[in-house]
């Protein structure tokens, strides 16, 4: 039996993205955003609105980073989603996280998170239905501990958080269930 | 030690979204898309380009559905990402999946997938950096087997697939690692 739940946003999984940028004085701020995704081979879209301190910082500096939050830093990641940069100038400092200036863009890399996309602001899309900050990914900087012997990010080492919008849970990844561009071939008749 | 991987798209987790629409003759087609996310409280953005048969269908019918692929249908979900609707008019039929017309929008619900967002086309955003199909979520239709006693989607019952863009793996969810809007409070000093 199926049931109607109304006009509920129901994408799962969602990422736990930590978006970081400097203000005009070089003070880092960061926020937790689940509404973001790759939107091109070297582009990322973040659906974050104008009110955020981080959005204002991105408009000022034209750069930002996007890190993947991991299991060892659930409290820090969640705090960055609760605390408001506009009301707390020391928001980032209170997180206890470490910001190091990117060598590629004018934005902070947060050392504790294992994967960090260093982005230049490509554009801010504003339409009737969408407000999106679009970044051009200049470089992805990773902690070597999450790479396998071939230099690729290994999901079992990454321990990235997953956000559940239905009940506001954070999860980690379980077992591998298949392989893309392989498992469907039998239905092609190949 | 940290390492640079170049301009690599590195969001994880990514969803395995199955986007379905009818063509002008009422024939269903569907595709697998990882580049999609909620972009507002009742909106979804899909970064799928004009060449897809599904995009053409959405332009024609102004409606589509977005389902979450699950572990029991890895082969079918992957097939919908490999097969090309433009070259295979019977692509959807060959999947073995069941399309039932939505009562809310002019688009097919795929019965086998547990969660389905029924959407009207809100707009197609085309800028220098982005091509996005934006849907207004009219209703979310779910299989009761994935709901808990409070009527909410339960991640442990959903068995939704997760896509790993680093190594093209499909995964399922593991353990709960935390709770949003709670775990970060201690850093607020509350």
Dig out the tokens for B147 from the structure: 């709901």
Note whether B29 and B75 are within 8 A (CB): no
Average pLDDT, chain A: 97
* B115 touching chain A per CB within 8 A: yes
Q: Is the pLDDT of residue A88 over 80?
A: yes
Q: Is residue A9 part of a domain?
A: no
* B166 touching chain A per CB within 8 A: yes
> ω into residue B158 within 30 of 0, thus cis?
no
Q: What is the least distance, in Å, from the CA of B128 to any CA of chain A? A: 9
Q: Is the pLDDT of residue A139 over 70?
A: yes
Q: For residue B84, what is the nearest residue in chain A, using CA coordinates?
A: A188
Question: Exposure of A15 by Cβ count < 10 A (0-12 exposed, 13-18 middle, 19+ buried)?
Answer: buried
pLDDT at residue A1, rounded to an integer: 93
> ω into residue A13 within 30 of 0, thus cis?
yes
d(CA A18, CA A32) in angstroms, rounded, equals 5
In chain B, residues with a C-beta closer than 8 Å to the C-beta of A168 are 179-181
**Domain of B158: which CATH number?**
2.30.110.10
Q: Is the pLDDT of residue A189 over 90?
A: no
Give the Cβ contact number of residue A29 at 10 Å.
Answer: 28
Dig out the tokens for B71 from the structure: 């572990």
Q: Is residue A116 part of a domain?
A: yes
Calculate the CA dihedral of residues A95, A62, B7, A39 and round it to 10 degrees: 90
In chain A, residues with a C-beta closer than 8 Å to the C-beta of B138 are 7
Total domains in chain B come to: 1
Give the Cβ contact number of residue A96 at 10 Å.
Answer: 12
Alpha helices in B27-181 (DSSP H): 53-61, 74-82, 91-95, 155-158
CB pair distance less than 8 Å for A13 and B13: yes
> Please, which residues have CB within 8 angstroms of residue A25's CB and are 6 or more apart in sequence?
none
pLDDT at residue B190, rounded to an integer: 62
Nearest to B172 among A44, A123, A177 (CB): A177
Note whether B81 and B172 are within 8 A (CB): no
> Please, which residues have CB within 8 angstroms of residue A113's CB and are 6 or more apart in sequence?
A18, A67, A68, A69, A70, A73
Q: For residue B174, what is the nearest residue in chain A, using CA coordinates?
A: A174
User: Mutate which of A1, A9, A92 to disrupt the B interface (most B C-beta within 10 Å)?
Assistant: A9
In chain B, residues with a C-beta closer than 8 Å to the C-beta of A40 are 9, 47, 129-130
Q: Is residue A6 part of a domain?
A: no
pLDDT at residue A164, rounded to an integer: 98
Nearest to A135 by CA among A148, A146, A125: A125
In chain B, residues with a C-beta closer than 8 Å to the C-beta of A160 are 12-13
Q: Is residue B113 part of a domain?
A: yes
CB pair distance less than 8 Å for B129 and A122: yes
Residue recorded with tokens 């990844």 = A173
Q: What is the least distance, in Å, from the CA of B15 to any CA of chain A? A: 5
Q: Rg (Cα) of chain B, in Å, rounded?
A: 18
Q: Is residue B8 part of a domain?
A: no
> Please, which residues have CB within 8 angstroms of residue B17's CB and are 6 or more apart in sequence?
A11, B32, B33, B34, B36, B46, B66, B67, B68, B69
Phi/psi at B59 (nearest 5 deg)?
-60, -35
d(CA A162, CA A74) in angstroms, rounded, equals 11
d(CA A10, CA A117) in angstroms, rounded, equals 26
Output the CA angle B124-B39-B53, nearest 5 degrees: 40
Nearest to A164 by CA among B41, B76, B49, B156: B156
pLDDT at residue A143, rounded to an integer: 98
B171 CB-side CA count, 13 A: 28
Structural domain of residue B158, as residue ranges?
14-188
Q: Is residue B6 part of a domain?
A: no
pLDDT at residue A190, rounded to an integer: 62
Chain centre distance of CA A82: 16
> Please, which residues have CB within 8 angstroms of residue A177's CB and are 6 or more apart in sequence?
B71, B74, B161, B170, B171, B172
Dig out the tokens for B76 from the structure: 């079918």
Q: Is residue A148 part of a domain?
A: yes
| A141-176 confidence digits (pLDDT tens) | 999 999 999 999 999 999 999 999 999 999 999 999
Q: Is residue A161 part of a domain?
A: yes
Considering chain A, what percentage of its residues have pLDDT values greater than 70?
Answer: 99
Output the CA angle B82-B58-B68, nearest 5 degrees: 55
Residues in chain B, pLDDT under 70: 190
Interface predicted TM-score of the whole assembly (ipTM), two decimals: 0.97
* B136 touching chain A per CB within 8 A: yes
């Amino acid at each position: 039996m199926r049931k109607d739940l109304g006009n509920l946003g129901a994408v799962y999984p969602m990422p736990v993205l930590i978006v970081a940028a400097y203000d005009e004085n070089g003070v880092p701020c960061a926020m937790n955003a689940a509404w973001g995704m790759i939107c091109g081979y070297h582009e990322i879209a973040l659906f974050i609105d104008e009110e955020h301190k981080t959005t204002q910082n991105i408009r000022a500096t034209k750069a930002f980073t996007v890190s993947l939050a991991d299991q060892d830093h659930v409290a820090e990641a969640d705090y960055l989603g609760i605390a408001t940069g506009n009301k707390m100038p020391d928001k980032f400092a209170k997180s206890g996280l470490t910001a190091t200036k990117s060598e590629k863009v004018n934005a902070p890399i947060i050392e504790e998170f294992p994967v960090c996309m260093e982005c230049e602001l490509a554009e801010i899309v504003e339409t009737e239905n969408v407000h999106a900050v679009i970044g051009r990914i200049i470089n992805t900087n990773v902690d070597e501990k999450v790479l396998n012997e071939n230099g690729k990010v290994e999901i079992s080492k990454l321990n990235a958080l997953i956000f559940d919008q239905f009940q506001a849970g954070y999860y980690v990844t379980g077992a591998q269930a298949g392989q893309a561009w392989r498992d469907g071939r039998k239905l092609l008749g190949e």
